[in-house]
Amino acid sequence: MKRVYNFSAGPGVLPEAVLKDAASEMLDYQNNGMSVMEMSHRTPMFQKIIDDAQKDLRTLMNIPDNYKVLFLQGGASLQFSMIPMNLMKKGVADYIVTGAWAKKAAAEAKKFGKVNIIASSEDKMFSYIPDVSDLKISDDADYVHMCDNNTIYGTKFHHLPNTKGKVLVSDISSCILSEEIDVSKFGLLYAGAQKNIGPAGITVVIIREDLIREDMPVNTPTMLRYDIHASKGSMYNTPPTYGIYLCGKTFQWLLNLGGIKAINKINEEKAALLYDYLDQSKLFFGTVEKNSRSIMNVCFKTNDPELDAKFISNAKNYDIVNIKGHRSIGGMRASMYNAMPVDGIKALVDYMKIFEKENL
């Protein structure tokens, strides 16, 4: 068996300890003679799995009691629709567009009401986070939407927008559990699991209780109502049981490691290794403004697309895979989620040094 350094943007690397643990329980989970995959979700054994997962996530993120935690399906993309469907009461929302995902979220919301783009960094290919300290918040906005970490471009908000009292909604798909976050500053947080938590197929939604409404239009599909999922404990229908079990294992792994503070310290260390090298390199350069840098997704290039292609192709000789940048911007992208070991970044920087020497 050989594991590689998988820099994929998602689905991404998972903790080896979690995978090994799950493998050891694959045929027989806790002496009940079957895998979690084969177990009814209406059993006390599965109820404990989902309850523990929720409890551990609450502990990790310090989620206040007046928030519901939901494990839903449909990816972060379905939240682009569910958020306006459920939260637009007056039919107006403000969107901050800092990347392709935020743009898609805004486009989807337009199907349900009036969307105002109150800030954007599209003028410079989403290579920075705009100043959000004094935005033109719409008087009648039901909420303000942001995407905290922009997976494709490698940017991250380092200050929350001043929403002037309006509810803040944030897509934290590619930064959830990577740094401490004050949940009480948000009305709703959501994240696809496939980067920092577990397998694809689960979306975590953290929603303040007063935003969950029951007076939805009668033609709203049942599966798209937060009130239904909240009242049924994320089990209105069959939930993605095995995925929830794996997410629970990752939460346990993080708790054992010392929680978010501890993993954030490691994440900062990993990011510093790569950014410090990039900042002094004569061949490679980072593609985003320094004060907008993400510690989860690091985008970089050389000045020559052919050299980039050579770098990407030769990376596998160093057990480095999925280092190619998103097709819309080219170059390289190293996604360094929680489960990427420090050794992975050291291997990447060592390879970059060799490549620089050979190609400068």
Q: Which of residues 148-167 bind ligand PMP (CB under 6 A)?
A: 151
Catalytic residue among 171, 270, 301, 308: 171
Q: Which of 25, 39, 75, 329 binds ligand PMP (CB under 6 A)?
A: 75
- 171, 212, 248, 355: which one binds ligand PMP (CB under 6 A): 171
**Residue 253, φ and ψ in degrees, nearest 5:** -55, -45
Nearer to ligand PMP, 229 or 302 (CB): 229
Interface stretch with ligand PMP, choices 19-27, 169-177, 210-218, 235-243 (CB under 6 A): 169-177
Does 81 contact ligand PMP by CB under 6 A? no
Residues, the chain: 360
The letter for the amino acid at 167 is: V
Is 253 among the annotated ligand-binding positions? no
Of these residues, 68, 156, 166, 195, which one is catalytic? 195
Binding test (CB under 6 A) with ligand PMP, winner from 53, 63, 76, 177: 76
155 is in an annotated binding site: no
Q: Is 201 in the site for ligand PMP (CB under 6 A)?
A: no
Mask for 172-191, x = binds ligand PMP (CB under 6 A)? -xx-----------------
For residues 9 and 62, give the distance between their C-alpha atoms in angstroms, rounded to a whole number. Answer: 26
Q: Is 65 a catalytic residue?
A: no
CA dist 71 and 240 (Å) reads: 8
**Region binding ligand PMP by CB under 6 A among candidate stretches 74-82, 131-139, 180-188, 242-250:** 74-82
Active site residue 276: no
On whether the CB atoms of residues 150 and 156 are closer than 8 A, the answer is yes
Q: What angle do CA 294, 159, 169 make, to 5 degrees?
A: 90
The response to whether 171 counts as a known ligand-binding position is yes
Q: Indicate the residue whose CB is closest to ligand PMP.
A: 75
Residue in the structure block whose two tokens are 């590619």:
174
Shortest Å, Cβ 151 to ligand PMP: 3
Provide the minimum distance between the beta carbon of 316 and ligand PMP in the complex, in angstroms, as a whole number: 23
The answer to the question of whether 76 is labelled as a binding residue is yes
Cis peptide bond upstream of 44, omega within 30: no
As given in the structure block, the two tokens for residue 217 are 């239009």
| Under rule CB under 6 A, residue 10 binds ligand PMP | yes
Using the minimum distance from each CB to ligand PMP, give the nearer residue, 82 or 283: 82
Q: Which long-range contacts (CB under 8 A, 24 or more apart) does 58-66 make?
A: 59/255, 59/259, 60/177, 60/251, 60/254, 60/255, 60/259, 60/260, 61/177, 61/181, 61/183, 61/206, 61/260, 62/180, 62/183, 63/183, 63/206, 64/183, 64/184, 66/208, 66/209, 66/210
Q: Which residues, 6+ apart, have CB-to-CB distance to 197 below 8 Å?
A: 176, 177, 191, 204, 247, 250, 251
Residues flagged as binding site: 42, 76-77, 101, 151, 171, 194, 237-238
Active site residues: 101, 171, 195
